[in-house]
Structure 1
Amino acid sequence: MNTMTIAHMAGILTSAIQAADRLELDALKGPALADVDLDLVRDIKRDCSTCISLLDQFGRERR
């Protein structure tokens, strides 16, 4: 079975944040996304950041 490390999970979440950043920038350049969608993108970024923080905390506690 392939196990995913904490660092790998944090890397995936970081990639998700970067993709959300690009979506947000594109939306701000033009009317590509409605305000509700922008809020959703920002929520995703916040949730991913929270998950990264929790993973870091979990990793420190496991040591």
Structure 2
Amino acid sequence: MNAMTIAHMTGILTSAIQAADRLELDALKSPALADMDLDRIRDIKRDCSTCINLLNLLDQFGRERR
């Protein structure tokens, strides 16, 4: 994996987190959404953040090997 690919994937995941942030704000304003929906949105944000952290570690490891 090259650095540009990692940066691209990180950017996509960051966009997903931003979209989930907007969904979370909308969900908090809407009484029709259940707590379960908020939990799912927060799970998505947490999973994306975990992936970003792993990609950063992979990128760092790749740079150290060079």
Runs in 1 of length 4+ with deviation above 6 angstroms?
none
Identity %: 78
Structure 1: 5+ residue stretches without partners? none
Report 1:11-30 matches (<5 A).
11-30=11-30
Larger proportion of helix:
2
The one-character-per-residue Cα deviations of 1:6-42 (angstroms, maximum 9, x if unpaired) are 0000000000000000000001112242110110000
| Contact 1:20–1:44 (8 Å) recurs in 2 | yes
- Size of the alignment, in residue pairs? 60
Q: Which has the larger radius of gyration?
A: 2
**One-letter amino acid of the counterpart of residue 57, structure 1:** L
TM-score (norm 2): 0.86
The CA distance in 1 between the partners of 2:22 and 2:32, in whole Å, is: 12
Structure 2: 5+ residue stretches without partners? none
The CA distance in 2 between the partners of 1:32 and 1:26, in whole Å, is: 11
1:48 Cα offset (Å): 0.1
> Structure 1 pair 32/8, CA: closer, same or farther in 2 (3 Å)?
farther
RMSD, aligned α-carbons: 1.1
